[in-house]
Homo-oligomer: A and B are copies of this chain.
Amino acid sequence: MNIDFTYQNPTRIHFGKSAMQYLPEELALYGKNVLLLYGRNSIKASGLYDAVMSDLQKAGKKVVELAGIKSNPTYAQVLQGAQLVREHQVDLILAVGGGSVIDCAKGISASAYCKQDPWTLYWEQQAPLANPVVPIGTILTMTGTASEMNGGSVITNDDKKLKLGRVFPLETMAPKFSILNPEFTYTVPKYQMISGIFDIFSHLMEQYFGGNDDCVSDYLLEGDMLALISAARAALKDPHDYEARSNIMWCATMGLNKILAVSKEQDWEVHMIEHQLGAYTDCAHGIGLAIISVPYYRAIYKYGLHRFVRYAKNIWHVNPEGKSDEQVALEGIDCLSKFIQELGIPQTLREVGATEEMLPLIAESTIKGGGYHVVTTEEVLEILKACF
């Protein structure tokens, strides 16, 4: 634990089949004006919308709705929500949905009382969040981003063709409460479930692939990866396996509530590349991450060889006997590739709507960073070509 840190996470999690029973006592903690945020009509089809509205009405809330939040929530929607907050003096933003809806809620919360253009202030410049924010509660229906227990908000600016993630401080912006009933994720289509699974796996790898020390967080990240692999395999067999779906849900929350990232050097470059893939195509986030991961790690493993050897042995149980470290590390990445195939994820960018013309544009606009190695535009382009 060589890197000093401060950690506090205020989110109260209610987890399980009975989690919704806590909604009334949470609602009672806030004023009467609620902005209800959700995506498509699936929460109406599932009956969740009615259940939430019933609790809101019993609590005497005045509800204003903003529906249709996109799977890559847009800055235009953030501004629309911010205006509703000001007009209706909203006391609580209740986000019902997946990471997109919650990310949008954070954007709205940060922007509503911001006196400058929030886009340039928060998403481009990462300025401190100085203005008042609106408390957020969430009811999660799709798992992956851990937005239910962190301060992250990824927003797409259609005008600027930019998808940028802002990590607001946990203390200020993490939801006050989050209701996690794994059964609510049953209605997510299988392709989206798989996308979510790989998003989680990628978060864990991206926090893991950095540092040369023997850090507790690495052992815990390994534990979460192993739990996720086991649960993913069970959920693939039976998407209504409660144990599997509940494990996936908690792997996700633990995977990015930042408690497993303390004192960690990290490498978020796969996310950086995928965000720009997302700006140019409609590719599901986790699917894009999976396609990019294999060529990315093949390109950079040699800079952090010891860590990729550890990953191969501890996550994929690669037997190192009679093999060089290079061979062990590459065999680990092969196992990752096989796992992606096992999940039924496409192997090429072509299959998710990218064209050859897009590749240099994506490579150029990607924010360059890395863990063991900082990539160049040329290297990103090579990585994209390798999975095109």
**Which A residues lie at the B interface, using CB under 8 A?**
1-19, 22, 171, 182, 213-216, 218-224, 226-227, 230-231, 234, 242-243, 246-247, 249-251, 254, 259, 262-263
Contact = CB atoms under 8 A, between A and B. Distances in A.
Contacts of A6: 12-15, 22
Contacts of A231: 214, 216
B242 A262 contact: no
A246 B264 CA distance: 13
A214 B230 contact: yes
Contact of A12 (B7, B14, B213, B227): B7
A220 to B, nearest CB: 4
A254 B216 contact: yes
A234 to B, nearest CB: 8
Contacts of A262: 15, 250
Contacts of A251: 216
Given A7-B13, A15-B263, A16-B4, A214 B226 contact: no
| Number of copies of this chain that the complex holds | 2
A250 B263 contact: yes
Given A11-B8, A12-B6, A1 B243 contact: yes
Nearest to A229: B219
Contacts of A17: 4
Nearest to A251: B216
A85 to B, nearest CB: 25
A4 to B, nearest CB: 3
From A12, A182, A251, name the one whose CB has the most chain B CB atoms within 10 angstroms: A12
